[in-house]
Structure 1
Amino acid sequence: MRTAPLEISAWAVPGEPVPFGEAQRQSFEPFAVGTRWGVPWSTHWLRARGSVPRDWTLDSRYRAEISVDLGFDGLAPGFQAEALAFRPDGTVIKAISPRNAHLPVAAGGDVDVYLELAANPGIPPESHWRTTELGDKATAGHEPLYRLRRLELALTDREAWELLQDIGIGRGLAEELPADHPRTAQLWAALDRMLDVADPDAVGATVSAARAALAPALAVRSTASAHTLIATGHAHIDSAWLWPVRETVRKCARTFSNVIALMDEYPEFRFACSSAQQLAWVKESYPELFGRIREKVASGQFVLVGGQWVEPDTNMPGGESTVRQLVYGKRFFLDEFGVETTEVWLPDTFGYTASLPQIIRLSGSDWFMTQKISWNQTNAMPHHTFWWEGIDGTRVFTHFPPIETYNAELSPAELAHAQRTYRDHGAGTVSLAPFGWGDGGGGPTREMVAAAQRQADLEGSPRVRLGTPREFYERARSERDELPVWSGEMYLELHRGTLTSQLRTKQGNRRVERLLREAELWSATAAVMAGHPYPYDALQRIWQRTLLLQFHDILPGSSIAWVHREAEADHERLAAELENMVGDAILVVSGTGDRRFLANSAPLAMEGVEAGAIAAAASSPVAPATVRSADLGDDGTEGWVLDNGRVRVVVDADGLLRSVRDTSGRDAIAQGERGALLRLHRDVPDKWDAWDIDRHYRNTAVDLTSAEEISASVRDGVAVVEATRRIGASVIVQMIALGPGRDAVDITLDVEWRERHKLLKLVFPLDVHADRSTSEIQFGHLDRPTHANTSWDEARFEFVAHRWIRVAEEGYGVAIANDSTFGHSVTRDTRSDGGTTTIVGLSVLRAPTFPDPESDQGRHTLRFALRPGASIADAAAEGHRLDRALREVVGGREVAPLVWSSDAAVRIETVKLAEDRTGDLIVRLYESSGGRRSTVVGTDAAVDQVQLVDLLERPLPDAPPLDGVPGRVRLDTRPFQIVTLRYRLTSSP
């Protein structure tokens, strides 16, 4: 390869990245190949100028390119130095990364390019849980990470490059096929003939003959029974992970410019892009590049998929957040490109809620794709193409690509794996193959396209067709009328620790979700009742930021420190803005005055206040709770009895629950056991530190029973026992409280957490023979077995619950509610007396050290409630209480609900104004009990029309007419059905 030098100059950005225009105005100093550059997370700009030598002959075979090596460490794109190239007019050319390190030379041969170099430190995921300080700019160090190895002109031989691609496919296929297969011998023989012809001392003169020697073996067509893969370019760019959000913005520009350049070279190439947020970033920061994306979308080459704002976690976000991912994502694609996306595309999410099929279909989407489920540790999913059935009975067409990666290179080994792994050969012939460098970005390369071309119809290989996800769906759907069915959640048998890691991020998300609900409810009420301006822009902005922070490496707690520090600050800022919004709206509807009310934003009545109302709390006198010392047994130990006339609680001398009885007299705590027990486990996952809780954590456990200090008192009518416990450098203040008129005992943990690789659980051994546990999920609840009869049951040893979990036998149940805990476990033991102890554990805190060495260190407060004799509705009420659904307000008058449901089980989840800003009122309800219900949905607002709409607030096709008048409509709902109503107001208030 012939090369020629370029004149290089540089400017080091003193702080955070700057736009091209600002960089171009700076003073660039001479810079030489071999110079070190790049303090962690810093940016360098290089300018390279020169001309193609006159003695270089450029034609269809030989072309000039700029060859770049930023000092790459290994070959993994996305986890080290990257660059984006610009022309002097500011237009983007393409990116530079380890596997895509060339730039085109403009016609005429003159070179003048700017390169924005990102000194992202190498934090490869293979580090697993090796502690690193590189994930925080403040601790990453000040020494340069990289050395510029190459930035020069190169004369490349296209024919030689093609030969390398031929060899790669021929050899890869020969290595993959059985050694005794006739095709294997044919391929090795052809490779031998190619080597005989090729002369390493005269490559240019012999390369064509070498290709000709190999060509016959690569021209043999595939068999009729060969599997077909629809190969679609992709780059699963994590919106934050081992880099901050600001770096993802640049990764998107690099990746999208790469694929546009590839489309210009290979018109048949298609690329699928899934996150609206990432395109919104490009629109804001790289408008010229966004314009070219528009053109490629219109041409059908740049394919929009997924329809969500980001690729979110689906275990922990609330129901409305799960809806809004699709509302804001699909609306962006419609508004900006005129494209209706038809699938939900979640290749890398850590498990899939059983509420999702209904939400997908109500958004107007047809099918679902994921890849991560192939990571299951214990059980393989039985099918790759099937119906997925949600808790309400809705089914959605679902596909797991058997290639089992979203970072495929389309190598013969990967294609053989896909064909070998595919479990539906008896009924289907096609699967999907997303290819391209992802995670850290980069996308497909020309080598990958070449691999697809060579394996389009090649004996010994599955057929490969470059195409779109929609083309796969239509072909797969047409192959068969009947599909197998998977019912319920799709539980990922891995990454269970993400339900607990980075507690502050999870607490901030739940707080903002609750405030968003309040802000929309009271703002809509103020708009409809009093003509108060509805804060459309602010709510949209807050929702979009909240949805970003639910990305599947942010909310799960698996990102670097920088990401979580920003997430926590964002949640604080958003919460403060929403608090002001709620306060302003309530002041409008309740007016000024000195009367004290409760504003209820929960979807169910609380303390006598209807959902969506502002009213005085029930005023019946309630006696204060009492606390007294008591002798607890023959051993002379003493404790305390807390009593409020509804619940009687016995707390022993260690500050633990010995007994909890409701008015039935039945004890919720198993005989001889103690509840609200803190249990500390060693937590050293085998591989993925912040991600995993492995089964062997149970093998080591220390019960925190002793208390350094303990006291009992009555505070404002609330009986409290407070115990201080210490483990290592950590201090835990545990409060058990019983309030006046409460049907539940409240537990608060105030923790100064200084552990490393430890898991803290809060354990309740309950005297209940429960064969299943029931947990709140989005828009309903889910039952899971408490036994381990099958490998599937055994693998589900840590699972998600939202605000409550309940275990029950016929006629009696116990609920445990939380304010910010998601990880739960339930097991059963048989006692010597023949009774059953059902043990509920809540995972309170973890302490992984990768990717954030300081994960969860510091001060935390968590709240729980144990309610004996609890129904499902009781469990929900406790969950909403801890979620702070009731707000004390001072105003001038009570306010009736804007909208109500006559059946309390059909809950009003969302009240807002329409996204199209017409002023229409949107009401979203769901059936919460798991049974059929009939309810009247009423409003006293002046409305003249109401209709059933989808999640994007469009009329549902073929929807039956509603029974009743607009202000009073009757709904008959199936179990867990979600219903969205759109009301047209008759006039402005």
Structure 2
Amino acid sequence: MRFDEKTRFEGRISRFVEETITPALYPERIALDVSVWRVPDEPVPFDEARAATYEPFVMGSPWGVAWSTEWFHVTGEVPAAWRERDLEVVVDLGFHTWNEGGQAEGLAYRPDGSIVKAIEPYNRYLRVDRGTERVDLYIEAASNPDAAVRAEGERWGNTWRQSPYTSKEHRPPTPVYVFRSCDLAVRDHEVAAFAADVDVLWQLALVLPETSPRRASIVAALARAIDVCDPDDLPGTVGAGRAVLAPVLASPAGASSHTLVATGHAHIDSAWLWPVRETIRKCARTWSNVLELLEEHEDLTFSASSAQQYRWMKDHYPQVWERIRAAVADGRFIPVGGMWVESDTNMPGSEAMARQFVAGQRFFREELGVTCPEVWLPDSFGYSGALPQIARAAGARWFLTQKLSWNETNVMPHHSFTWEGIDGSRIFTHFPPVDSYVSALDAEDLDKAERQYSEAGHGTRSLIPFGYGDGGGGPTREMVARAERQADLEGSPRVVLGNPRDFFAAAEAELPDPSTWTGEMYLETHRGTYTSQVRTKQGNRRSEHALHAAELWAATAAVREGAPYPYDDLERIWHVVLLQQFHDILPGSSIAWVHREAEAGYGRVLAECAEIVDGAVRALVGEGDLALAANATPFALDSVAPMAIGAHDAGSGATGATSVVPGADGTVLDNGLLRVVVDPRGLVTSLRDLVADREVVAAGAAALLFQVHGDRPTMYEAWDIDAAYRRTVEDLRAADSVEILAPDAVRVSHTYRSSTVAATLRLPAGARHLDVTVDVDWHEARRLLKLAVPVDVKADAAASETQFGHVVRPTHTNTTWDEARYETVAHRWLHVGEEGYGVAVVNDSTYGYDVRRTWAGERSAAATTIRASVIHGPKFPDPDCDMGEHTMRYRILPGATRADALRHAWDVNLPTTRLTGARAVAPLLDVTGRGVVVQTVKLAEDRSGDVVVRLYESDGGRTRASIRADFEHVGVAVTDLLEEPTGEAATVVDGAVELELRPFQIVTLRYAR
């Protein structure tokens, strides 16, 4: 058709749907009576709401101050003539036309407290049983505000801006919604079926080429169907319209058409633009809708991840939980992912990443009898190279995500492939080529999936998760109707309702030699998530180390002294930490409410871990005056053995002394191993390694330079750092003061606009490192604070710690892939080196870095600049993000190897503790072997009392390890992460376990007692 004909046709179809079909879906309605009870504060149980006093509510009135709950009591008589007809209660709480999961929602109850289903923006009906004489329902309505404050009709985009709804305390007092209607309506199912016919064909016509014969036949059929339908009597003529469309709907797909395996899905962020308490209700609402839909459509399956969300149902909604259990047993409701939550994978520490799977798989096994064979992370912000090994060790065979379709620069070259981790482990991986985990199964999505499938010619299928998501909602009956019509439809890929496990098995079988992607899967966007919400990130880091110490000392006390092991407490604490590693909490991309709750949770975690450690250590050392030092790290950095409590001689340790000498050209710190010059501007102009006799600071540069960049991402403030930030920079090159604090310490203070930035440099006696404590009082929005350390090292690559090892990234920008990694993530240490010499930077709470080769002119060799991202300061979705006081610690290690960096990372993050007692405590384990790190010592998850030891090779090379246990045991087995035997026999020689470890290999040993 010519353009004007095309426009007229689309207009005619659109008007026919809007003016004729849609009103006829509910041809008869009567208004129901509604009364209201406004909950004074937080949500209450149904029994309390039912007993409350309700007031009449006038339809069309405003309701719901942001984050409040109002209960509506809906009543009305069913006309006698309607009682054998198909009836529904249809509710409009004042829904918007965008952001289906970030606005008002409701959950309906019968008077006996049984749950009916939910009311949501695209799922507004409640079925009424035939024969019902009177409607009597209670609707718990949640006034969740649209915290994104977008323009009408705009789903995403740069209209995201500061919202007044980021916390309950600062919300406006005015209602957010207007309750528009609540009707008892007759549902015309034949008209609904006709609506689905028209919908599928109209969408298909829009994606087919205009010259396509198939498109022409569809257009002609739709035109004829409109002609034969009487707008004044659609129910009476809809059969003729459907008969016209039947032949084009019956035309089968081509023999080579792509197959899309469609599984119902509802991505429910465990927190984001709403608090955790609202996520619990979102799960109940979405999953109650899904359970009803499963009863109506026997071919439909639904996939849902996150053991935490299932646990919430068990604890808070036992009705929903029992129905889920039954549907899981029936193979219809499918737990996927095997993790506690869909966590971030860049920043959780080694053991925490493992525990996401340990806790998740354990819950699914014990409560639902299921072990999840796939990892399900459609929306996490990049994927650590350690994940393949961790996932395989937790029982997973397959991995799913689609987030890398968001890459800003490069396109991932595969959709079904093998992903190889840093240790060489491989896992079959799928990126749904639809580039979405919230598909509505419309023709545009189907066409996109078929066009983009990279393995075409070798593979024939891909997965398509469908259903409203992010804030939940899930699949709808309209989506299922599309799937049924697209099962075998000319011009469309085939749609098969199925489940992920059948898909993965078939996809893997048809690709016996898939392509391989090696190493981390870096997301080329959302780079700001390594830095946003400093307090949340600090809480995570400190909680991880506190748990390490708590488990170690509690296990030692249990084995040595028979002290009770705090299984319940440790499990509960771990669950808090794992929840807060969700991919919108730890990355710092949630509203203020979420992060303030997270920070409070971390406070409780640290206090409880301290209590566990104190109780265990006291049981071990007894009461006495002997000076002791407790070292919970795998490395000894002073006189105390690793993972032991030894006598501490106050005079032992470092030798020599540090001197500080002020002068006109700067202040000099010197301990005989390093000499540091701090000039009057507060910059380190020289850091001389006296042992190696070489200057560490790059020629013509200065270290410990604070730099401030303008930081206004185009779209997602808390998530992104756009490449353009580098074009504007202000260097803090004029200190307010340079003070000598002690013989080994100098403090440099700066003022920047309304903020202060101070660095305390300490050069300990006998130490070959410089400690830097940064104190920031930050009040600058949309500005990124960096700390630069330019070093005279020609490093082709930088090594950054990740889980159970490290990842190596180029420092150059030879390719677009290299150039796109302008902001990267590291855990506790980052190392750059050339042959024979390296420099490391260790941190206690920083994750974001950029590392680039630099050039100081013809007379200087290439150098390397390491810059730590200290503060991000976005305004959305938390307008107070990163404001206020913060303290971070760094350690600069000249002449360091990567192994040195790891040892000091433990010391900075989990320093030795001084105490007094009656006796020293020898370690439970004596471990020898280059690069072998004991990550965890604990008692077994099954509460048998067995001791579990997790260790790994940390250098990236092959090594031999010998592990001698200093406690009674009756045998030792090599297990997976789930603490079940792998079948690999443990070699024991003279009472010690002997291991040969591959690069970065994780080994878990279980000692039976």
TM-score by length of structure 2 reads: 0.95
Letter in 1 for 2:992: R
Q: Which structure 2 residues correspond to residues 224-623 of structure 1 after superposition, within 5 A?
A: 224-617=255-648, 619=652, 622-623=655-656
Moved more, 487-496 or 864-873: 864-873
| Whole-angstrom CA distance in 2 between matches of 1:798 and 1:296 | 44
- How big is each residue's C-alpha offset from its partner over 1:720-769, in whole Å with a ceiling of 9 and x where there is no partner? 11121001100112111111111111111111100010000000111000
Secondary structure of the structure 2 residue equivalent to 1:797: coil
- How big is each residue's C-alpha offset from its partner over 1:487-521, in whole Å with a ceiling of 9 and x where there is no partner? 00000000000000000000001011000000000
| Equivalent in the alignment of 1:634 | none
| Whole-angstrom CA distance in 2 between matches of 1:776 and 1:583 | 30
Match of 1:653 among 677, 680, 683: 680
| Equivalent in the alignment of 1:811 | 836
Is contact 2:853-2:863 (8 Å) kept?
yes
Secondary structure of the structure 2 residue equivalent to 1:117: strand
Mapped pair 1:765 → 2:796: no
| Equivalent in the alignment of 1:776 | 801
| Equivalent in the alignment of 2:3 | none
Dislocated runs of 4+, deviation >3 Å: 124-129
Q: Which structure 2 residues correspond to residues 115-154 of structure 1 after superposition, within 5 A?
A: 115-124=139-148, 126=157, 129-154=160-185
1:882 offset after TM fit, Å? 1.6
Moved more, 671-680 or 653-662: 653-662
| Whole-angstrom CA distance in 2 between matches of 1:453 and 1:58 | 27
Is contact 2:972-2:986 (8 Å) kept?
no
| Equivalent in the alignment of 1:693 | 721
1:621 offset after TM fit, Å? 5.9
Match of 2:195 among 146, 164, 168: 164
Match of 1:100 among 105, 123, 141: 123
| Whole-angstrom CA distance in 1 between matches of 2:400 and 2:839 | 37
Is contact 1:947-1:962 (8 Å) kept?
no
Is contact 1:655-1:721 (8 Å) kept?
no
| Equivalent in the alignment of 2:882 | 856
Moved more, 126-135 or 305-314: 126-135
| Whole-angstrom CA distance in 2 between matches of 1:815 and 1:720 | 20
1:128 offset after TM fit, Å? 5.8
Is contact 2:420-2:516 (8 Å) kept?
yes
Moved more, 247-256 or 190-199: 190-199
Is contact 1:514-1:885 (8 Å) kept?
no
Is contact 1:600-1:606 (8 Å) kept?
no
Moved more, 20-29 or 398-407: 20-29
| Equivalent in the alignment of 2:661 | 628
Match of 2:962 among 919, 925, 936: 936
| Whole-angstrom CA distance in 2 between matches of 1:655 and 1:96 | 61
Is contact 1:822-1:843 (8 Å) kept?
yes
Letter in 2 for 1:92: I
| Whole-angstrom CA distance in 1 between matches of 2:295 and 2:77 | 24
Moved more, 308-317 or 599-608: 599-608
| Equivalent in the alignment of 2:752 | 727
- How big is each residue's C-alpha offset from its partner over 1:64-105, in whole Å with a ceiling of 9 and x where there is no partner? 100000011224311110000111111111111111000011
Mapped pair 1:643 → 2:674: no
| Whole-angstrom CA distance in 2 between matches of 1:580 and 1:162 | 63
Q: Which structure 2 residues correspond to residues 821-840 of structure 1 after superposition, within 5 A?
A: 821-831=846-856, 832-840=858-866
| Whole-angstrom CA distance in 2 between matches of 1:477 and 1:672 | 55
Letter in 1 for 2:724: H
| Whole-angstrom CA distance in 2 between matches of 1:57 and 1:863 | 71
Letter in 1 for 2:745: V
1:610 offset after TM fit, Å? 2.3
For residues 192 and 887 of structure 1, do their structure 2 counterparts lie closer, same or farther at Cα, with a shift above 3 Å needed? Answer: same
| Whole-angstrom CA distance in 2 between matches of 1:837 and 1:761 | 18
| Equivalent in the alignment of 2:739 | 711
- How big is each residue's C-alpha offset from its partner over 1:880-928, in whole Å with a ceiling of 9 and x where there is no partner? 2220332222222111111131115111000000000000000000000
| Whole-angstrom CA distance in 2 between matches of 1:588 and 1:829 | 54
| Whole-angstrom CA distance in 2 between matches of 1:76 and 1:130 | 15
Is contact 2:415-2:453 (8 Å) kept?
yes
| Whole-angstrom CA distance in 1 between matches of 2:895 and 2:932 | 23
Unaligned residue ranges in structure 1 (runs of 5+): 631-636
1:620 offset after TM fit, Å? 5.0
Letter in 1 for 2:972: V
| Whole-angstrom CA distance in 2 between matches of 1:454 and 1:691 | 39
- How big is each residue's C-alpha offset from its partner over 1:145-204, in whole Å with a ceiling of 9 and x where there is no partner? 111111110011100011111111101000100000111101101101101111111111
Q: Which structure 2 residues correspond to residues 6-25 of structure 1 after superposition, within 5 A?
A: 6-25=32-51
Letter in 2 for 1:626: S
| Whole-angstrom CA distance in 1 between matches of 2:749 and 2:720 | 30
- How big is each residue's C-alpha offset from its partner over 1:601-620, in whole Å with a ceiling of 9 and x where there is no partner? 11222213222111135725
1:106 offset after TM fit, Å? 2.4
- How big is each residue's C-alpha offset from its partner over 1:227-282, in whole Å with a ceiling of 9 and x where there is no partner? 00100000110000000000000000000000001011111110001010001001
1:57 offset after TM fit, Å? 6.9
Mapped pair 1:984 → 2:1008: yes
| Whole-angstrom CA distance in 2 between matches of 1:964 and 1:439 | 54
| Whole-angstrom CA distance in 2 between matches of 1:621 and 1:655 | 27
| Whole-angstrom CA distance in 1 between matches of 2:230 and 2:197 | 16
Q: Which structure 2 residues correspond to residues 668-679 of structure 1 after superposition, within 5 A?
A: 668-679=696-707
Is contact 1:227-1:462 (8 Å) kept?
yes
Is contact 1:91-1:289 (8 Å) kept?
no
Q: Which structure 2 residues correspond to residues 175-186 of structure 1 after superposition, within 5 A?
A: 175-186=206-217
Secondary structure of the structure 2 residue equivalent to 1:638: coil
| Whole-angstrom CA distance in 2 between matches of 1:763 and 1:76 | 40
Is contact 2:699-2:860 (8 Å) kept?
no
Is contact 2:147-2:164 (8 Å) kept?
no
Q: RMSD of aligned C-alpha atoms?
A: 1.2
For residues 621 and 402 of structure 1, do their structure 2 counterparts lie closer, same or farther at Cα, with a shift above 3 Å needed? Answer: closer
Letter in 1 for 2:1007: Y
For residues 738 and 75 of structure 1, do their structure 2 counterparts lie closer, same or farther at Cα, with a shift above 3 Å needed? Answer: closer
| Whole-angstrom CA distance in 2 between matches of 1:207 and 1:701 | 66
Match of 2:999 among 960, 964, 975: 975
| Whole-angstrom CA distance in 2 between matches of 1:196 and 1:512 | 68
Match of 2:822 among 786, 792, 797: 797
Is contact 1:41-1:137 (8 Å) kept?
yes
| Whole-angstrom CA distance in 1 between matches of 2:919 and 2:257 | 74
| Equivalent in the alignment of 1:633 | none
1:935 offset after TM fit, Å? 1.1
Moved more, 926-935 or 596-605: 596-605
| Whole-angstrom CA distance in 1 between matches of 2:654 and 2:105 | 68
1:426 offset after TM fit, Å? 1.8
| Equivalent in the alignment of 1:869 | 895
Is contact 1:128-1:688 (8 Å) kept?
no
Letter in 2 for 1:840: I
Is contact 1:804-1:818 (8 Å) kept?
yes
Identity value in percent: 51
1:127 offset after TM fit, Å? 6.2
Is contact 2:844-2:909 (8 Å) kept?
yes
1:982 offset after TM fit, Å? 0.3
Is contact 2:638-2:653 (8 Å) kept?
no
Is contact 2:401-2:431 (8 Å) kept?
yes
Letter in 2 for 1:649: V
1:954 offset after TM fit, Å? 0.5
How many residues were matched structurally? Answer: 971
Match of 2:97 among 52, 67, 74: 74
Is contact 1:604-1:904 (8 Å) kept?
no
1:836 offset after TM fit, Å? 1.0
